[in-house]
Structure 1
Amino acid sequence: MVLAKARYLECLLRAIKITTEKTHCKPLCMRMLCRPFTNIASADLQDVPKGFDGWEPVDDVYRIDRYPPKIRHISECLDDLRAQDKWAYCRKPEIYSDRTVNLSLLLDLTIPLKKKQVEPFIGMAAIPHKFKASNKVICFAEGDQVTEAMNCGAHMIGDEALINQILNDEFTDYDYIVASPSMMAGLLPLKKKLRKTFPSSKRGSVGVDMKKMLALYLNGIAYKVQTNIPHVNVAVGKLSLSNTQIEENVNSLIEAVCTHKPPAAGPLIRKATVSAFLLDGHQFKYESYVPGSCEEEK
């Protein structure tokens, strides 16, 4: 390391001497003076990626934005998060002893041929491994479907009185609402209030298969596209889960997001990052989780 620093200073002094003796030469770039002591085996200091200070740092003190990100398998990223979790400071360790793992997907919503964008979407993804308590789901049904809904774990069965309580904000102890097709006419007064969470067959919250519908909304995770910078940010597990379990949850969520991709659009996902509460984010290779209809052309 000492020899490397000496070599860097030698090159730096030589460049300063040249610019002072030959006035027709370009002045020394200030970025070169501030360059960290990395990738200095080359005498001209030009063997570096464009826009960065080097391919990788030589020690553990460096600016992350000055080096290209390392895109690895998700298992390696999760191992790094667990290693950082052992020493990272947290004000209330008793509350955040088991940190939540978050998945962030940067999306490309443009449709090149039609010169327009994919409409921002929301949805529900079924995950194979639970990591939180079940959601509270209200079911609007009638007849035999009422018994089936209660046996499948519905929080309560809705009626006309409950609709009025929801409209007046007198009842808010619920997460989602599902309904049978025959009950949709009575739910129309809630459409303006619930907006995008209003029951819809497109999102799987209206149907006759109560078991399948309630299994999705009781144990699934909701995702939504943020319109400022098109991306999806959603929790996919806890650090206490194994790498395989988190990976399977990530796979299920990416498959659900890719179902919103129109045929004319290009690759929907541009970048995938996994992180945890107050810990660093790590990019990982997501291509293997993308369904065949959404894969980039190789």
Structure 2
Amino acid sequence: MIKLSLNRYLESFTKLTLLPHGFSRDEERTILAFCKGQDLISQAAEAGATTVGGTELVKKIQEGELKLPDYDYIIAHPNILTDLVPIRGLMKRRFPNLRAGTLDADVPGLVKKLAKGVQFKVTGDEQQKDFGSVDVPVGRLNMEAKEVAENIGALLKDIQSSRPKRDGLYITRCYILSPPSSELLKIDPFVYVERTLNSEAQNESDDEDEAAAATA
């Protein structure tokens, strides 16, 4: 497991990332996938969808045969979105959409990410409001060291992608631990990610600040 400390903290957020080397976890996620076309349906099922199908699923939901609360995730292909409008009221905030990452033309890929990805939550420090932290599993002891290292790298890059566009540190500390032991091994996160923003990203941030000041 990786423990991270973050600076320039914005707000709590939850994210799901697919690491290059999967590992078993005591967790099973249920996924309801809407899509059209037998090939796509078969691919989504093979990827790990619990229930997958087209408009016939809409009818089952309307008749109460299929219950939405039974699923952790509800996703869809854009080509079936209009067919889901009759049950939009039942789905409420779970209606598939791009912003939530539940609407994608690559349904099999999305199913794989949701079924096998590692979910983590960045939370703010109650005492120091500008700081946050995150604990994320990255592997098991029976994995090759190289695989765990590659998982750590992929994870840090994903977390770093959420950083504000400001120069300075975002990831400030990184530790690896193996429960139930409480011993922490400090590792250097900057082997995997840049310590500061590149000039292109910094210039983009400066442009945004100038535009905001001009309209203030």
TM-score when normalising by structure 2: 0.69
Q: Quote how far apart the aligned CAs of 1:228 are.
A: 3.8
> What is the distance in 2 between the residues matched to 1:188 and 1:294?
43
Which residue matches 2:212?
Answer: none
Q: 1:178 aligns with which of 65, 75, 82?
A: 75
Q: 1:131 aligns with which of 17, 23, 37?
A: 23
> What is the distance in 2 between the residues matched to 1:271 and 1:236?
16
8 Å CA contact 1:121–1:225 kept in 2: the answer is: yes
Please show how residues 29-108 of structure 1 align to structure 2 within 5 Å. 102-108=1-7
Runs of at least 5 residues in structure 1 that lack an aligned partner in the other structure: 1-101, 111-117
The answer to whether structure 1 residue 274 and structure 2 residue 176 are counterparts is yes
Q: Quote how far apart the aligned CAs of 1:140 are.
A: 2.1
Q: 1:238 aligns with which of 104, 128, 140?
A: 140
> What is the distance in 2 between the residues matched to 1:242 and 1:226?
30
Q: Using the TM superposition, name which of 268-277 and 227-236 deviates more.
A: 227-236
Q: Quote how far apart the aligned CAs of 1:269 are.
A: 0.6
Question: Given the superposition, is the C-alpha separation of residues 203 and 262 from structure 1 closer, same or farther in structure 2, using an over 3 Å criterion?
Answer: farther
> What is the distance in 2 between the residues matched to 1:187 and 1:248?
40
Q: Quote how far apart the aligned CAs of 1:254 are.
A: 0.8
Q: 1:122 aligns with which of 14, 24, 29?
A: 14
Which residue matches 1:29?
Answer: none
> What is the distance in 2 between the residues matched to 1:190 and 1:276?
39
Q: Quote how far apart the aligned CAs of 1:200 are.
A: 4.2
The answer to whether structure 1 residue 157 and structure 2 residue 52 are counterparts is yes
| Deviation digits for residues 26-81 of structure 1 (CA, Å, limit 9, x no counterpart) | xxxxxxxxxxxxxxxxxxxxxxxxxxxxxxxxxxxxxxxxxxxxxxxxxxxxxxxx
The answer to whether structure 1 residue 147 and structure 2 residue 42 are counterparts is yes
8 Å CA contact 1:124–1:203 kept in 2: the answer is: no
Q: Count residues with an aligned counterpart.
A: 180
Highest RCO, 1 vs 2 (Cα 8 Å, sep ≥ 6): 2
> What is the distance in 1 between the residues matched to 2:102 and 2:151?
21
Which residue matches 2:201?
Answer: none
Which residue matches 2:90?
Answer: 189
> What is the distance in 2 between the residues matched to 1:244 and 1:215?
23
| Two-structure CA RMSD over aligned residues (Å) | 2.9
Question: Given the superposition, is the C-alpha separation of residues 104 and 141 from structure 1 closer, same or farther in structure 2, using an over 3 Å criterion?
Answer: same
Which residue matches 2:187?
Answer: 284
| Deviation digits for residues 216-251 of structure 1 (CA, Å, limit 9, x no counterpart) | 222211121123451111111111112111111111
> What is the distance in 2 between the residues matched to 1:246 and 1:278?
18
> What is the distance in 2 between the residues matched to 1:203 and 1:251?
24
